[in-house]
Structure 1
Amino acid sequence: MIEDSLTKQVIGAAIEVHRHLGPGLLESSYQKCLQYELVNRGLIARREVPVSIQYKDLLVENGYRIDLLVNEELVIETKTVEELNDIHLAQILTYLKFGGFKRGLLLNFKALRMIDGIQRVSL
């Protein structure tokens, strides 16, 4: 994935949140604090953005939600797990595909160092 200005800004904001809060909270706390940090940096950050699934001619609207969508283009999936695995990657890839987005970040706030809990994802 090509490093871009928006991704750098989000990673910087995630590191700032992690530096202040540490690794022991719920995902929802990190989401709210990251949204706050991003907005304070002049970005548009929406939480819990619905994603519908299209199957042939059937539209399935069953509660899938992107944790954070930044500037209507970067999908952020937050986690608080021991380590990121294939199911987390599959989840964000689904959001990218059905939402029509090109790139995203998996952010694991349970990592001791935030930089170790970041995975860039693109289609």
Structure 2
Amino acid sequence: MSTSFLRPTWAALIGAMALLNGCASVSNVDLWPFGSDQPAGRSGPPNATEYQCDGNKRFFVRYADNGSTAWVIYPDREVALTKGATGTRYTNGVAVLEVNGAEASLKDGPNINYSGCKMPAKAK
């Protein structure tokens, strides 16, 4: 095999690696030019309702499909729940979200049991 072929190949490979390494440094930069959908001073996912619960726990809910689906948003994952017949209960067979106005409770398996959950007061 000719070494004249290998030199440009190695140069291209090293150049590509340098470019990819440079991309990693801007991965946490928000490049969306039109601002945020969130109100100022609010953390969490856009278009989601925050619930703060007993024991300093919190979660977010985003409703979809005209309210027939509730996406429960945890720090590490999202879970879709379907509205039950009562209209205040959402479930997927494992997780259960009960919503009563500004109050809610959430049970998801044996480890997640959030009670006394309320929407925080809106900042003025």
TM-score range, shorter chain: under 0.3
TM-score (norm 2): 0.23
Say which structure, 1 or 2, has more relative contact order (CA 8 Å, 6+ apart): 1
- 1 or 2, which has the higher helix percentage? 1
